[in-house]
């Protein structure tokens, strides 16, 4: 499994679509279509910033992302920022530094990526425009039915360990039955707090490295947070997102 981390960390953490630079099988789109989506950028040892995760705007000060994007020996809040309102990677929009993160207290307990969700406070408030808006999150306890069409959007790689996309991409896939997904991954990798999605037995469409923390949309509602997968766009293994409805009450009570 690979978390959707920068490529340099894949050797250390070969398990989530974690921090790393695209959507597989997608098409170009614009931030105006997904105005609550932001880029998460990290300052590297060469003194340059690199987009490696995504997130969704909750309020002017808070964003929603994956816990695995805000942990580890290389992570520092002081070296992390977000870029809102930008269609292109590393360019345009408004930039806001991270103040601190609150990863869910159950993260990694039931399985490596269970409760892979975080709310992050920014140092300066986001100003809302036509291309920068709050997201809508799903109600607590709601279960997205199998075969529902859902959408990934992000700047991740277009193939496993490929190159980053410079323009925002999006792709439509389908919710996969969780029990079937759990059988394919084996062990306790898949929990009731996850959503599996892809094109089963076909593949070719998925989130990938660099899309971690970004939204999984059902309509205009954020129902998932991109978490991990076995490769990208794999026909046998669907991509896996954190099920937001398992944590809606926690999100609302924490991001305040």
99 is catalytic: no
Q: 20, 65, 118, 212: which one is catalytic?
A: 212
Q: 20, 104, 116, 165: which one is catalytic?
A: 116
Using DSSP's 3-state secondary structure scheme, residue 31 falls into helix
Q: What's the rounded Cα separation, in Å, for the pair 93 and 189?
A: 37
Specify the pLDDT at position 6: 36
- Domain 1-256, CATH among 3.20.20.370, 3.40.50.620, 1.10.10.60, 2.40.10.10: 2.40.10.10
Specify the pLDDT at position 23: 74
165 is catalytic: no
Q: What's the rounded Cα separation, in Å, for the pair 40 and 109?
A: 25
Task: With beta carbons less than 8 A apart as the criterion, state whether 154 and 206 touch.
Answer: no
pLDDT 10s per residue in the chain (256 long)? 556 543 232 222 223 544 433 478 899 999 999 999 999 999 998 899 999 999 999 999 999 999 999 999 999 999 999 999 999 999 999 999 999 999 999 999 999 999 999 999 999 999 999 999 999 999 999 999 999 999 999 998 876 666 778 899 999 999 999 999 999 999 999 999 999 999 999 999 999 999 999 999 999 999 999 999 999 999 999 999 999 999 999 999 999 8
68 is catalytic: yes
Measured at the CA of 95, the angle between CA 33 and CA 169, to 5 degrees, comes to 30
Q: What's the rounded Cα separation, in Å, for the pair 112 and 110?
A: 7
Q: What's the rounded Cα separation, in Å, for the pair 156 and 158?
A: 7
Q: 20, 36, 65, 68: which one is catalytic?
A: 68
């Amino acid at each position: 499994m690979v978390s959707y981390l920068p490529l340099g960390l894949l050797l250390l953490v070969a398990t989530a679509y974690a921090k790393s630079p695209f959507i597989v099988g997608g098409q170009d789109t614009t931030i105006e279509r997904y105005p609550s989506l932001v880029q998460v950028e990290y300052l590297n040892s060469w003194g340059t910033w690199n987009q490696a995760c995504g997130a969704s705007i909750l309020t002017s000060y808070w964003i929603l992302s994956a816990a695995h994007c805000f942990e580890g020996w290389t992570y520092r809040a002081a070296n992390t920022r977000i870029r809102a309102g930008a269609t292109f990677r590393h360019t345009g929009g408004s930039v806001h530094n991270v103040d601190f993160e609150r990863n869910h207290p159950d993260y990694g307990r039931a399985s490596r990526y269970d409760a892979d969700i975080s709310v992050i406070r920014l140092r300066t408030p986001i100003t809302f425009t036509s291309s920068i808006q709050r997201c809508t999150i799903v109600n607590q306890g709601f279960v997205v039915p199998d075969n529902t069409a859902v959408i990934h959007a992000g700047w991740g790689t277009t193939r496993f360990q490929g190159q980053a996309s410079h323009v925002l991409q999006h792709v439509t896939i389908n919710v996969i039955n969780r029990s079937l997904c759990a059988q394919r991954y084996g062990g306790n990798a898949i929990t009731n707090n996850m959503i599996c999605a892809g094109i089963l037995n076909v593949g070719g469409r998925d989130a990938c490295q660099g899309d971690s923390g970004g939204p999984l949309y059902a309509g205009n509602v954020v129902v998932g947070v991109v978490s991990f997968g076995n490769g990208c766009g794999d026909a046998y293994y669907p991509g896996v997102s954190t099920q937001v409805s398992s944590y809606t009450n926690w999100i609302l009570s924490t991001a305040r």
